[in-house]
Amino acid sequence: MIKKKIPRHILSAGLVVLPFITALICIGFGRYSLSLPDTVRILLYGINSGKVSAVEKSVIFSVRLPRIILAAGVGAGLSCAGAAFQGLFSNPLATPDTLGVASGASFGAVLALLFHGNLITVQVLALFFGLLSCAITYNIGKLHGRSSIIMVVLGGMVVSALFQACVSLVKYTADPENELPSITYWLMGSMSGAGYNTLLLGLPFIFLGTMIIYALRWRLNILSLNEDEAHSMGMNLQIMRLTVIVASSLITASAVSMCGSIGWVGLLVPHMARMLMGSNNRTVIPVSISLGATFVLIIDTFARSATAAEIPISILTAVIGAPFFIILLKKTGGVWT
């Protein structure tokens, strides 16, 4: 409906600038609120200007800016990975955790928290176990030297269940007074640990994975065809599937390693993109990136500003995402094209 009213090129241009405008507005929200002109002034003059107070420098550059960058990067990456998996598996319910990557990354993180590791240790172990779970899943899905989509998906379910059981085991053995609360809070997702060191370690993987999927977005239309049709068009299915899986797993593992498990983003946002632009992955992928960044920016701003105590992001994404997805299903009749 929207694409009939608004020219496609205008809508595309608006979606490009939407995350930047949203970030500029969201950075002023919080206990120390700033107007939009003040936010622009602080960002333009920078940290070395005498026209910016010490409090303003600290609030913007030390606290909120890393968090804004993290929220935008995670939202864009998870949405991109979700759209890629939905196209790759031709399944509207595919999510970034289809191959068990998020569960593996969560296990690595809670293992680090159990042994009182710092944020960098948590991030490294989460990234390692996330990629390890992807490797296990892909090897399970190989039959006679070739990967099978059905076997990969089933292997992902098994690996996800295995690592979720390992997470439950770690929670069971954790100290209920000191370790268990931090593990439980981390698993619910939060951007509160955002810092420039965290971003330097995790954001490049999200950027790399997103750029790979973006560059191959038109090939996802071919990957959704049956194998005979794809081969007739000169597509090397094994290499392309592995490339998309690795890129999406890099994004998911890195996102989970930085801010915990955040659900619904990779499922809901790609559907919103298809409602706006149709089912062509050449447009679905970039629109998902834009809408995903915007969605998580808004959710995170609400999480840190709505109450005195920060609300875990996964709770908000579920509370908002589930009803919206029900409305979306009612509107489309459950048909995915």
Read off the amino acid at residue 77: G
**Phi, psi torsion values for 181, nearest 5 degrees:** -60, -40
Quickly tell me which residue has 């290499």 as its tokens: 239
Calculate helix-pair angle for 101-114, 179-187, nearest 10 degrees: 160
Instruction: Count how many residues are written for the chain.
Output: 337
Q: Using CA atoms in the order 153, 252, 298, 220, what is the torsion angle rounded to 10 degrees?
A: -60
Helix (H, G, I), strand (E, B) or coil at 260: coil
Residue 226 buriedness (CB in 10 A; 0-12 / 13-18 / 19+): exposed
Residue-range domain boundaries for the chain: 2-332
What is the predicted pLDDT for the residue at 146?
67
**Phi, psi torsion values for 279, nearest 5 degrees:** -100, 0
Q: Using CA atoms in the order 6, 9, 11, 16, what is the torsion angle rounded to 10 degrees?
A: -170
Q: Using CA atoms in the order 289, 294, 299, 301, what is the torsion angle rounded to 10 degrees?
A: 130
What is the predicted pLDDT for the residue at 55?
86
Quickly tell me which residue has 């944020």 as its tokens: 119
pTM of the entire predicted model: 0.89
What is the predicted pLDDT for the residue at 3?
42
Beta bridge partners of 147: 142
Contact status, residue 96 vs residue 248, Cβ threshold 8 Å: yes
Distance, CA of 136 to CA of 286 (rounded, Å): 30
Question: What average pLDDT values come out for the chain (337 residues) when binned by 10 residues?
Answer: 58 85 92 87 76 84 93 96 89 85 92 86 90 89 71 89 94 88 87 88 93 90 70 74 90 91 90 84 92 95 86 89 80 59
* 3.30.70.980, 1.10.3470.10, 2.40.50.100, 2.50.20.10: CATH of 2-332: 1.10.3470.10
Contact status, residue 96 vs residue 85, Cβ threshold 8 Å: yes
Quickly tell me which residue has 């999480």 as its tokens: 303
What is the predicted pLDDT for the residue at 22?
95
Estimate to the nearest angstrom the gap between the alpha carbon of 188 and the chain centroid: 14
- Of all helices (H) and strands (E), which one includes residue 147? strand 146-147
Distance, CA of 100 to CA of 94 (rounded, Å): 12
Cα of first residue to Cα of last residue in the chain, in angstroms, is 15
